Amino acid sequence: MSPNTSTPSGPWWKVGHMWLVVAGPLIVVVASFVTLWLAIRTPDPVYVDAPKAGARAFQPADDVDPAALSPAMQARNHAATGGVAKPASSRAPGANQ
């Protein structure tokens, strides 16, 4: 037998290495359809907090106490300028403004 002659191979589905290449992506595709089916069949419920007694459902930004926002404003200013502004309440009485 000469080295240039090749033996005819069988059908593609009988080649074991082909199944190693095809099986991985095929399993992922089947698993994604199973996941889609589960997600459609049993959707997650929407979580809603129970309303608290005496709490308003909507609080406009104008009604927020500026002192309640001061930590956020200090952090924003520190991030933007690299320094922390001193709160107005910490100034000494009688100091020049």
Domain ranges of the chain: 16-41
What average pLDDT does the chain have? Answer: 75
**Per-residue confidence band for 85, with pLDDT thresholds at 50, 70 and 90:** low
58 vs 16, which has greater pLDDT? 16
Per-residue CA distances from 56 to 51, 59, 64, 85 (Å): 9, 7, 12, 32
Q: How far apart are the first and last CA of the chain?
A: 104
**Residue 3's pLDDT is what?**
63
**Residue 7's pLDDT is what?**
74
Answering whether pTM is above 0.85, one says: no
- What 8-state DSSP symbol labels residue 26? H
Burial class (CB in 10 A: 0-12, 13-18, 19+), 27: exposed
Cα–Cα distance for residue pair 39/42, rounded to 1 Å: 6
